[in-house]
Amino acid sequence: MSFADILDYFEYNWDTLLELTAEHAWMSLIALIASILIGFPLGFLLLGRPKLENFALTTAGILYTIPSLALLAVLIPVTGLGIETVVIALVLYSLLVIMRNVLMGLASTPPELLDAARGIGLNGSQILWRVRLPLALPYFAGGIRVAGVSIIGMATLAAWVGAGGLGTPIFRGIAQIDFAQIFAGTILVFVIGVVFDLALALIERMLKKRMGVNG
């Protein structure tokens, strides 16, 4: 196999690859948004509840150690083949990273800063929005970026349950011993990962500027 073989594969299959790339990106975006919508409230809920926090993080950690193909196999009888099964699996894998980073971010506020905020008359809600959240933003953003990149990589398994995505040329290439297909799918997964990470970094900078956070 040569670089020319990969270029030829792109040239003759660009329309299919474009469709699979869109499927992969959309599936990953849905899973990331769902992970944020579930993981962030859970993180806030667990703050200050050490026993519940330990239970939730331990459970999420156990789910994280389950092999991805095994988790999909367990979900198929319940949710069937398709994108729903993949999204559920991706969300379960991402919860540990997001919840842990939310908790680390909220716990990163120095106690003396909290005391000073209370001393000037800020209530609990004001302390959260004006003190805790700005300081926790880098942790939040870091967790989302790690989760996003992980989701994009694991979403290649969507092809295994008939949900499309860029795992299709990768698995097909492995079955046919066609390295051009494998590299084409891998390159596009890498491109999506870079685009997602850059977009999340831009959103992070915008939020920092809006909240007056330096760095």
Q: Give the C-alpha separation, 47 to 64, whole Å.
A: 21
Q: Give the C-alpha separation, 122 to 157, whole Å.
A: 48
Q: Give the C-alpha separation, 32 to 38, whole Å.
A: 10
pTM of the model: 0.88
* Top-level class of domain 3-211: mainly alpha
Q: Give the C-alpha separation, 155 to 89, whole Å.
A: 9
- Nearest Cα to Cα of residue 202 among 165, 155, 148, 130: 148
**CA distance from start to end of the chain:** 45
- Nearest Cα to Cα of residue 150 among 76, 200, 103: 200
pLDDT tens for the chain, residues 1 to 215: 667 778 888 888 899 999 999 999 999 999 999 999 999 999 888 887 888 888 888 888 888 888 888 888 889 888 888 889 999 999 998 988 999 899 888 888 888 888 788 888 778 777 877 788 888 888 898 899 999 999 999 999 888 888 889 999 999 999 988 898 999 999 999 999 999 999 988 888 887 777 666 65
Q: Give the C-alpha separation, 169 to 184, whole Å.
A: 8
Q: What is the domain partition of the chain in residue ranges?
A: 3-211
The predicted pLDDT at position 183 comes to: 93
Length of the chain: 215
Q: Do 64 and 93 meet the contact criterion of CB atoms below 8 Å apart? A: yes
